Structure 1
Amino acid sequence: MPGLAADLVRSEQVTPATDDRDGAVLWYDALREQGIEGIVCKRGGVGYPSGQRWWLKVRHADTVDALVLGFTGPRLGPHSLVLAVGDESGSARVSACLEPVLAARVGEALSGAAVVGERRAEGEPYTRVETDLVVEVLAGSGRHGTLIVIRMR
């Protein structure tokens, strides 16, 4: 069976490391164009202890405006927003959970919005509303592309 193992593709790869901050910043900036998600930072000498998060991921992200299409959870304190990012004809995307203070502000802004009905986005049920509310979101460029609502516009 030596031939069988020879056909397997190795998934390990060497990852560059540096303790030079300027070099790390250069990598962070330069590798974005190649689709690299970001960099991982840790203190020198700190290992990778099981079950603990001592490393920090620094991902590339841009802020963009998004139209609010609806919300999950209660209207006055929504858990997350369903958004149209960029073009309204694109698919509806669900944001990450809102911070409590922001959720209260968004809930107040949505309090008078007409409910259009119940819909689904990314497999999650949400309440569709008619509103012109726009929010600024941090749109991660990583493989998950998480939308984090920063503030209302």
Structure 2
Amino acid sequence: MRPRAADEIPAQGEPPRELQYSLKLDGFRALAFVLDDGKVVLQSRSRRDLAPEFPETAAHLREQLPPGIVLDGELCAYREGRLSFTDLLRSPADRARTGVPVSYIAFDLLAVPGQDVRSLPLRDRWELLGMALRDAEPPLQRVLATLDESTARDWFRDLQDAGVEGIVAKTLGSTYRAGPTWAWRKVRHMDTSDGLLLGVLGPAERPRALVVRLVDGRTATTSPQLTPAQSREVGALVGDRAGPLTPDAEHGPVRWVEPPVPVELRQLAGRQRQENPTFVRVRSEG
């Protein structure tokens, strides 16, 4: 279930209030569950298991989650009091060496032991999530959420410096279903923007840069070069969609990707229009 982008935080209706406002965190979105044999799975949107990349977090989940519970949430890294997406791309050894913790912040519940609860309205799933996590301890916790529009606007204004991306407004009566939905609307601070991954430069399984379409319709090559973790992430998702090397007058030899893939890009404030965007992540990851 993926929220649609909105320009403004939606207004709350008169009681009974219809919207829940929660923090939009800067992390890797993943389902979290424990199999009967004790194996922890952190399943990304591309169905890749992220647990081997976050072994300490997975170990805590193994201790705190019984088999049968399925959570939806974000893996979030913290550095110096703020969320640090870049640290999610580092190796577990690098994070351990620099003392960067990673938490799993749950915002929805898909199943409890013996029951699929996706057909229940969000208001019921939220209560069940609270019950499921009532004894949970960090790094596992429930996302901060409110029914009060004024509080949500305060969070949007005050928590940007802590790395919070924005606010997600969710209809309390919404069931959980796959794909994008207007029942969930996200409002993000505009230091990043959405784009489309059109092609890759270098090997399809380990690209070094991307050809993207920006919101204004221009195409550009990302810079700097992808990190090893980013290259693996993109390669795992688009490797089988990438075509053969094709010469391109603007970007050089490109492997075009069909269909294009939504991505998040960043252009630092003050950059000139002709300068290249920086790849942040594949949007299908969360």
Normalising by the smaller structure, the TM-score range is: 0.5 to 0.7
Superposed counterparts of 1:112-127, under 5 Å: 112-115=240-243, 118-120=246-248, 122-127=250-255
Aligned equivalents of 2:233, 2:249: Cα separation in 1 = 23
Q: CA shift at 1:62, angstroms?
A: 2.5
Which of 89, 110, 125 aligns to 2:238? It is: 110
Query: CA offset at residue 93 of structure 1?
Result: 0.6
1:111 is displaced (CA, Å) by 1.9
1:86 aligns with 2:215: yes
Distance 1:124 1:62, change over 3 A: farther
Q: Is residue 202 of structure 2 the alignment partner of residue 73 of structure 1?
A: yes
Deviation at 1:112, TM superposition (A): 2.0
> Do the aligned partners of 1:135 and 1:150 also contact (CA within 8 Å) in 2?
yes
Q: Is contact 2:212–2:219 with CA below 8 Å preserved after alignment?
A: yes
Q: 1:146 to 1:100 in 2, by over 3 A?
A: same
Distance 1:119 1:82 in 2: 13
Aligned residues: percent identity?
Answer: 30
Mapped to 2, the partners of 1:121 and 1:138 lie a distance apart of 25
CA distance in 1, matches of 2:278, 2:237: 18
Q: Pairwise mapping of residues 1-153 of structure 1 onto structure 2 (< 5 A)?
A: 62-87=191-216, 90-96=217-223, 97-115=225-243, 118-120=246-248, 122-140=250-268, 141-143=270-272, 145-153=275-283
Give the whole-Å Cα distance in 1 for the aligned partners of 2:242 and 2:227.
Answer: 24
- For residues 243 and 254 of structure 2, the distance between their equivalents in structure 1, rounded to whole angstroms, comes to 11
Give the structure with higher Rg (CA).
1
Unaligned 5+ segments in structure 1 are 1-60
Runs of 4+ in 1 over 6 A off after TM superposition: none
CA drift of 1:125 comes to 2.3
TM-score (norm 2): 0.29
Which runs of 5 or more residues in structure 2 are unaligned? 1-189
Aligned equivalents of 2:200 and 2:220: distance in 1?
11
Count of aligned pairs between the two proteins: 91
**How far apart are 1:131 and its partner, in Å?**
2.2
Would the aligned equivalents of 2:242 and 2:255 in 1 still touch at CA under 8 Å? no
Provide the C-alpha distance between the structure 2 equivalents of 1:123 and 1:71, rounded to a whole number of angstroms.
10
Which secondary structure does the structure 2 equivalent of 1:145 belong to? coil
